[in-house]
Structure 1
């Protein structure tokens, strides 16, 4: 079957969520406006996630997986998803399902004229501390990147795969995907989407990696922006 969209689902110790992920993603795929497939990226889970993931893929032909030998972090999982995507479009959703797969339709309606469409959780259902730390982190990133995004960390995105594969990923760069598309001369847009409380599993990010590390990553981004190589071929034989 020829698919048009690969949806990356990174997971790390998400055994409590995986059956729900299977149900929700199957429901969306059956009604999506384009043909979709799911690519699980198991980031070295230490619980029963890998077995459950393999079982899901064995009974659903639209589901595939790759599994790391050890935990490498979210940026590495997203990078691997980009590397293994075989479709023209690549999406991304978190395995906690705090965002709705059906909102991919909102992003798809805009991707024709853009190279990345980013979700914007305008009514977030997280704790006050988590919401405030994200607001501060996004404000600081905007100072550095000027990408105009209010929610770069939103776990619902669609990118053109050729742009995604050219992103030189480093740890933490998943927070800078819109800015990295801009460095390639790409067009970006954000779209308001729904957001839900986490109902199972444990959050993987705390105050330190929501505020302090992202600040350091901003300086890494500035170095990359200064030294980024971008070119357009005018002619070839």
Structure 2
């Protein structure tokens, strides 16, 4: 069954009872013309509201499309993403936030761009960001600081809608805050990245789980950790292996 799945959409959720049903239905509607098999993989990060019962309802309503994995306790967004990547069965992996600010109608064009461009990962850029001025300014400063410290040029690190080849998210370093550095860590592994503008919407249901100050303090430590990894990261390429000899004998 896993061989036939082309796309896995990984969505971490924490106390998003107001968004589970409309988000699932919107994704299904957005991909109604998508001619390949896909799955929506929710990872419940230890929610304390009705998120889990609603996920169970969505599995019953869309048994061929929806799967979920629920943590026993809250472990953070990075852990939820990593768990989702481990459970994803698709050739391609997409990510969305659970707050519905990402627009799933952007997914088809991102998939097409990935397939036609030859890049390994397509990252979204929120062209018209629907957040308050304080969040916009803090995000711009944080994005610039991360790029400066990691010597990157990613336009919008904080945009959660992405489409990538499965290999990009395998064996990522498991540390808290890792999800804020997906493009940098993917590129560090030798994969290529491109960016395209995407739609961004106001949060109309539920409450944000992050504030400006807690992101700033945690983000600084994360940047220093990633900067250290970039300097110490090891990678290599083989000139020849025993498999090459065996393949030659098979011909």
Same-fold status (TM-score > 0.5) = yes
1:175 is aligned to 180
Q: What displacement does 1:96 show?
A: 1.1
**What is the DSSP-based 3-state SS (H/G/I as helix, E as strand, rest coil) of the residue aligned with 2:31?**
helix
Map 1:175-214; keep pairs closer than 5 Å. Answer: 175-214=180-219
- 1:42-76 residue CA offsets vs partner (Å, 9 max, x unmatched): 00000010010011012212110111111011111
Displacement after TM superposition at 1:184 (Å): 1.0
Report the Cα offset of residue 29 of structure 1.
2.7
Which has the higher Rg, Structure 1 or Structure 2?
2
Q: Which runs of 5+ in 2 are unaligned?
A: 243-251
Please report the TM-score for the alignment, with normalisation by the length of structure 1: 0.95
Superposed CA RMSD in Å reads 1.3
Higher deviation after alignment, 108-117 or 167-176: 108-117
Aligned residue for 2:21, secondary structure, equals: helix
- Does 1:100 pair with 2:98? no
For residue 6 of structure 1, what is the aligned residue in structure 2? 8
Aligned to 1:118, the other structure's residue is in SS state: strand
Q: How far apart in 1 are the matches of 2:149 and 2:37?
A: 37
Equivalent residue runs for 1:26-105 within 5 Å: 26-32=28-34, 34-60=36-62, 61-105=64-108
Report whether the alignment pairs 1:139 with 2:141: no
Contact 1:147/1:182 (8 A) holds in 2: no
Asked if structure 1 preserves the Cα contact closer than 8 Å seen for 2:113 and 2:122, the reply is yes
Bigger mean CA offset, 193-202 vs 162-171: 162-171
Q: Which runs of 5+ in 1 are unaligned?
A: none
Deviations 1:183-233 (A, max 9, x none): 111100111001110000000110123322112111000111122232333
2:120 paired residue among 115, 119, 124: 115
TM-score relative to the length of structure 2: 0.90
Q: Residue 29 of structure 1 contacts residue 35 of structure 1 at CA under 8 Å; is this kept in 2?
A: no
Question: Aligned pair 1:24/2:26, yes or no?
Answer: yes
